[in-house]
Structure 1
Amino acid sequence: MKKLLSVLLSLVMTGALLTGCGSPAAPAAAPAENPAETPLETPAADPVDVKVLALKGPTAMGMVKFMNDADAGTITDNRYQFSIVAAVDEVTPKLVQGGADIAAVPANLAAVLYNNTKGGVKVLAINTLGVLYIVESGNTVSSVEDLRGKTIYASGKGATPEYALNYVLAENGIDPAKDVTIEWKSEHAECVAALAASENAIAMLPQPFVTTAQTKNQGIRVALDLTKEWDKIQSGAANPSALITGVVVARTEFIKEHPEAVAAFLDHYKNSVNFVNANTEDAAALVEKYDIVPAAVAVKALPACNITFAEGSGMKDKLSGYLSVLFEQNPKSVGGTLPADEFYYSR
């Protein structure tokens, strides 16, 4: 019992030290005659280090204004450290091992990380809706039905692109295994080469790669927006889901230790997304500044990248529905089981 009391006393003292970190506490003020004249003020939390990772592409584009303001010193509530990486393999170990606090990742990877870490991460917000498009070097496709009997070049087998394409095809009465031929390539560049090699070739490509390909081959046209096709399928649902590319996640431990920093991050991020969507040319210049894609590509690609910001119940409805679609096709795509409610952060 003495040992337990000693431990409890130590924890209380530690808490007192943490809450009193900085300058000594001021003496309590005398009660005011009219309490309404002296509203209580909550002191701002001390700045903390916030390490943020984003993948090179649409999931990083919505952050560029935030990153620029932090680098310029106009955002000072916390010490933000942004890193943009080229591959998912660079994100996962840093997030799991504490080398990053917050990360923009593919939507299904968020669920995989949650399951593999036993709740070690939570999803904060949706940052990118669908970026997949059906393109062709001809003019034969104007509806999903027009894909029947065709060959589609695509990359991303075993990942979100395959599951999204299969879902859209199946919900339109097209069997992906029988009614179309999907030739899976290892890279997007191979799909572009296939488009150039034959007339009326069809491929599935993501933005901003669609725009990059079009700058090199003006004969490539966008035939279908898979995000819009997904929305058509979901239009009658009670809680419609959405085709989602990216989300922002945070370590659960970081959320518990620094809730004010998480809230501040989300506010800055939302403002950044709003800026990017409303100021295409200025945002494109920042996209180039942070070496994501050239400004000439970004200015054309940004309106088609479906950069967004959704949190709370709206985020949960759309994301849980999307993950359910993936789970039905392959449980491993979301880590073996659908995440519990605690996966979805709400402030």
Structure 2
Amino acid sequence: MKKLFSTIFIALALMILFVGCGSKEVDKEEVKVEPVNIHVIAPNGTPTLSMVKLFEENPSMGDGVTVTYESIAATDVLASKLTQQEADIAIVPTNLAANMYNKEVPYKLAGSSVWGILYLVSTEEVNGWEDLKGKEISMIGRGLTPDATFRYLLTKNNVEPDKDVSLKYFSGGSELAASFISGKGEYALIPEPLLTKVLMKRKDAKVVLDMQREWSTATGLESYPQASIIVSDDLINNHPEVVDKFLNAYEEGIKWANDNPLEAGKYYENLGIGLKAPLINKAMAGCNIRYVGATDAKESLEAYLNVLFEFNPKLLGGKLPDEGLYLER
């Protein structure tokens, strides 16, 4: 009888053991994490610089989340990738965010991060906008946002574009820089960080007008949101916690870059897309990188988009975007 009880006891113990193991397996199945693959893109230059800490360190965005980063050389390639929805998150010219939204490409603007990078440089003394009358000014972006911004500020300061000043357009920043450095022209509207490179080469030139300060004077707003971060509707709807984590990491990365410009420059140089760490170190302050969420940036965003719309509605896809453009957090 004792032997029988002993056998029954052992059998029961084994059953309990196997049942326990089985429930552990079920628990493992219950906590299995669904993989989330996120592709992030940003144009070369200041937009990539704003995200350089994430590019280099690729911090964790949660269990099962894989993030890949890509820096894009040309804006047309960027627009194509967005149209094809090949990116989940992107840093884009703010007008492109509005343009994509108006074309019903499913992205929302989560915040703005590049607050103007245009500076007028000259070898001559300039005490105000009146001194520009009769001058030829070299610049880039015919019909695009730099053109719209500069023409708006000329007009606000009683200087009539194409009548009081002559605007000479170059196809790109490299061509503009080479021309100005060689001594052709005494006035040029140049973006950072290219500006720092130009001033290092042409020692007799200096910044005579800061477009960001001039915008503030003209509008009463701090500056204009030249570039913004957009997030796909799919990622927002299905993984809101990942979106929050990413945007927080992005904001922290911008603060780090501003506090550590040389290290940010080294990270940028590691990407192999053209700019060296010492130059980034000098240029960082003029790049005006700071993160402002869409809700807080809304007044500035709407003012900027209105100026662009008045200049050329096509820059925004033919109309001003409605409230659905913005991601509420």
TM-score range, shorter chain: 0.7 to 0.9
Deviation of residue 86 (structure 1)?
0.5
Deviation of residue 259 (structure 1)?
1.2
Corresponding residue to 2:286 among 291, 301, 304: 304
* Contact persistence 1:64–1:283 (CA under 8 A): yes
RMSD across aligned positions (CA):
2.2
Q: Which amino acid aligns with 1:295?
A: A
Hey, what does 1:96 align to over in structure 2?
A: 83
* Contact persistence 1:120–1:251 (CA under 8 A): yes
* Contact persistence 1:54–1:83 (CA under 8 A): yes
**Distance in 2 between the 1:218 and 1:316 partners?**
40
Hey, what does 2:252 align to over in structure 1?
A: 271
Deviation of residue 62 (structure 1)?
1.3
1:126-149 per-residue CA deviation (whole Å, 9 max, x = no partner) reads: 01011011011x132232222122
Hey, what does 1:286 align to over in structure 2?
A: 267
Map 1:25-104 onto structure 2 (within 5 A): 48-70=36-58, 76-77=62-63, 78-104=65-91
Hey, what does 1:41 align to over in structure 2?
A: none
**Distance in 2 between the 1:110 and 1:95 partners?**
10
TM-score of the two chains, using structure 1 as the length reference: 0.81
**Distance in 2 between the 1:158 and 1:199 partners?**
23
Corresponding residue to 1:260 among 241, 262, 281: 241
* Contact persistence 1:147–1:180 (CA under 8 A): yes
Q: Does 1:188 align with 2:176?
A: no
1:57-92 per-residue CA deviation (whole Å, 9 max, x = no partner) reads: 00111111122221xx56655311101110112222
Q: Which amino acid aligns with 1:51?
A: H
Compare CA radii of gyration and give the structure with the larger one.
2
* Contact persistence 1:154–1:204 (CA under 8 A): yes
**Distance in 2 between the 1:153 and 1:251 partners?**
37
SS at match of 1:125: strand
Deviation of residue 187 (structure 1)?
2.2
Corresponding residue to 1:109 among 75, 82, 96: 96
**Distance in 1 between the 2:33 and 2:125 partners?**
59
Corresponding residue to 1:168 among 139, 153, 178: 153
Q: Does 1:144 align with 2:123?
A: no
Hey, what does 1:334 align to over in structure 2?
A: 316
* Contact persistence 1:119–1:343 (CA under 8 A): no
Hey, what does 1:131 align to over in structure 2?
A: 117
**Distance in 1 between the 2:260 and 2:226 partners?**
22
SS at match of 2:143: coil
SS at match of 2:126: coil
SS at match of 2:163: coil
1:340–1:74 Cα change, 3 Å: closer
Q: Which amino acid aligns with 1:345?
A: L
1:91-138 per-residue CA deviation (whole Å, 9 max, x = no partner) reads: 22222323210111111111111112x2521111101011011011x1
**Distance in 1 between the 2:30 and 2:176 partners?**
64
Deviation of residue 319 (structure 1)?
0.9
* Contact persistence 2:62–2:242 (CA under 8 A): no
**Distance in 1 between the 2:85 and 2:175 partners?**
36
Q: Which amino acid aligns with 2:114?
A: T
Q: Which amino acid aligns with 2:172?
A: E
SS at match of 2:113: strand
Hey, what does 2:198 align to over in structure 1?
A: 213
* Contact persistence 2:262–2:278 (CA under 8 A): no
* Contact persistence 1:125–1:247 (CA under 8 A): yes
**Distance in 2 between the 1:177 and 1:257 partners?**
50
Deviates more, 1:126-135 or 1:177-186: 177-186
**Distance in 2 between the 1:222 and 1:342 partners?**
39
* Unpaired stretches in structure 1, ≥5 consecutive residues: 1-19, 26-43
Hey, what does 1:23 align to over in structure 2?
A: 29
1:23-80 per-residue CA deviation (whole Å, 9 max, x = no partner) reads: 337xxxxxxxxxxxxxxxxxx985621110011100111111122221xx56655311
Hey, what does 2:305 align to over in structure 1?
A: 323
**Distance in 2 between the 1:162 and 1:22 partners?**
58
Give the number of equivalent residue pairs. 302
**Distance in 2 between the 1:142 and 1:190 partners?**
28
